[in-house]
Amino acid sequence: MQETAVRDVPPALGNPALARRLAGRRPAVFLDYDGVLSPIVERPEDAVISESMRTVVRDLATRVPVCVVTGRDRGVAQRLMGVDDLAVAGSHGFDIWTPTRGSLSDAYVARYTDLVAEVTERLRDDTRGIPGAHVESKRASVAVHYRLVDPADRDRIAATVRSVLDDYAGRLKLTPGKMVYELGPNVDWNKGKAVLYLIDVLGLDGDDVVPLYLGDDITDEYAFRALRDRGIGILVGDPDDPEVANRTTAAHYALASVDDVERFLATLT
C-alpha cells in the first residue's frame, strides 16, 4: 500500500480536493483522543478535552455519526471527554460501546481479565524502581508510559517490557505508541478493524456515506490503511515534531495540531 512522507501530505483545512470528495455525501467521523481531541501531555490523566472542542464535537454529533477510537480505556476516555453519548472503541478498538446497543465486547473482554491483571501487577513490580515510569491499567490492556522517565533509564523500560513479552510468549502482543508501550491479548484486532466493524454495525456502509478517520499515532495507521480505498484518513501532527517527522503515513490529508482539528470539525458542522 502506498504511503507518503508526513511532510508531503496535503493539508485538510481549506483543501478543495477534500471538499469535492465530501460533496453530496454524509461524513461519518472517527476520532482518536490523545493528540487529536486533546494535546499530548506529560501525565495521561491530565489530557482533558477543552470546552470549545467538546462543544464542537457535540454539535457535530447532532448532525453526523461521530465515534471515538482510542488506545485509552473506554471509561477513562468517556470521563476525560465529559461526553457519554458517543460510540467509543477503547483499548485500540478492543472494548466497543455504543449509546444505542451498549457494550458490544464485554463477554470477549472478560476472557482476558485475569491475564491483563496479572501482567499489570508484574509491570508495576518491575518498574517500581524507575523514576517517572507510569503503569496504566485498562480493562483490556496495560500501558507503560515513559515520557517522564530520564532518557538514560528508558532502555530499562524497554528491557522490562521485552522480558514480560518473553515470559508470556504467544499470549501478549506489543502495541507501541508515543512514549508508551501497550501490552494486550495477542488477538488479531486493531483500530482499523474496529472502524470497519463500527461501519458495519452502525449501518454506515452506504454509498452516500464517507468515513473520515483522524489520528496522530502509529496505531492510527491501521485505520488509515483500512479506509485507504473507501474513506479519508487525516493525520494530525506537525511535520517538525521529531515524533512525527521521520514517519510515512497512509493518510490522505493532514492537520498540524489539535487546534486545526477543532477548526476542521467546525467546518464539517
* Residues marked as catalytic: 32
Q: 263: which 3 cell numbers?
A: 477548526
The answer to whether the CB of 158 falls within 8 A of the CB of 135 is no
The angle subtended at Cα 219 by Cα 182 and Cα 47, nearest 5°, is 70
Nearest CA-CA partner of 55 in 77, 82, 79: 82
CA 206/CA 83 separation, integer angstroms: 27
- How far apart are alpha carbons 112 and 117 in whole angstroms? 9
Q: Among 67, 176, 183, which Cα is nearest to 124's?
A: 183
